[in-house]
A and B are shown apart, each in its own frame.
Chain A
Amino acid sequence: GESVGLHLPTLSVQEGDNSIINCAYSNSASDYFIWYKQESGKGPQFIIDIRSNMDKRQGQRVTVLLNKTVKHLSLQIAATQPGDSAVYFCAENDGGDDYKLSFGAGTTVTVRA
């Protein structure tokens, strides 16, 4: 079946630099995308979401970009901080009535001091 996946399992970033986490999806019916941050031993925490009728959405220090042509999603974190160290998951929903999310494999971000 179609699923959401991430390009790289790990990302090491220097504190203060910008981070870019990538995600590819294959379900062309997907119309809603969401990024979660999961710190060790905790539940996933909502970061930002985007609908398929948008290309870009910004939050506090985070930006999500959606390229529907190549089915690619990215999360940009500005001025990465030690507290940003976590596993990041992208997830998508195909608009079905069940509101289920399909999760990608996750990218572990480590921030170097």
Chain B
Amino acid sequence: DAMVIQNPRYQVTQFGKPVTLSCSQTLNHNVMYWYQQKSSQAPKLLFHYYDKDFNNEADTPDNFQSRRPNTSFCFLDIRSPGLGDAAMYLCATSRAGSTAKQYFGPGTRLTVL
């Protein structure tokens, strides 16, 4: 039973061509996170939504944006992908008021040509 779903699993885009990654969840969690993970590194938090409140990390480039139209869905928009944006993008959710335990999706592997 999938709980955090990411689509697509693999995405190829061209340098400078906008791309959108999708995340959905069946857990009804109120917090959703987007991470960037490069090879052999720990996940790096880009931003998160606490309900409808958007919280950006200080070092997240403006090139990365996010939308959360409802509780279940969250999108990551990369406006002008560069070669350095090639990475695994992970979506996670948690239920505020419980613990900080986060449930991760399978990730989207982004390739930039």
Contacts and interface: CB of A to CB of B under 8 A. Distances in A.
B99 interface: yes
B99 A44 contact: no
A1 B96 CA distance: 24
B104 A49 contact: no
Interface stretch (B11-19, B42-50, B60-68, B77-85): B42-50
Interface string B18-61: 00000000000001010000001111010010100001000000
A100 B45 contact: yes
B87 to A, nearest CB: 13
A45 B33 CA distance: 15
A13 interface: no
Given A42-B106, A44-B90, A34 B42 contact: no
Contacts of B90: 43-44
15 contacts: A32-B100, A41-B109, A42-B106, A43-B6, A43-B104, A43-B105, A43-B107, A44-B43, A51-B99, A93-B99, A99-B31, A100-B45, A100-B48, A106-B41, A106-B42
B103 interface: yes
B94 A99 contact: yes
Interface residues of A, number: 22
B103 A32 contact: no
A43 B3 CA distance: 12
A46 B50 contact: no
Contact of B43 (A32, A42, A103): A103
A42 B48 CA distance: 20
Interface in A83-113: 89, 93, 97-101, 103-106
A104 B44 CA distance: 10
Given A43-B90, A103-B42, A105-B41, A98 B99 contact: no
B55 A98 contact: yes
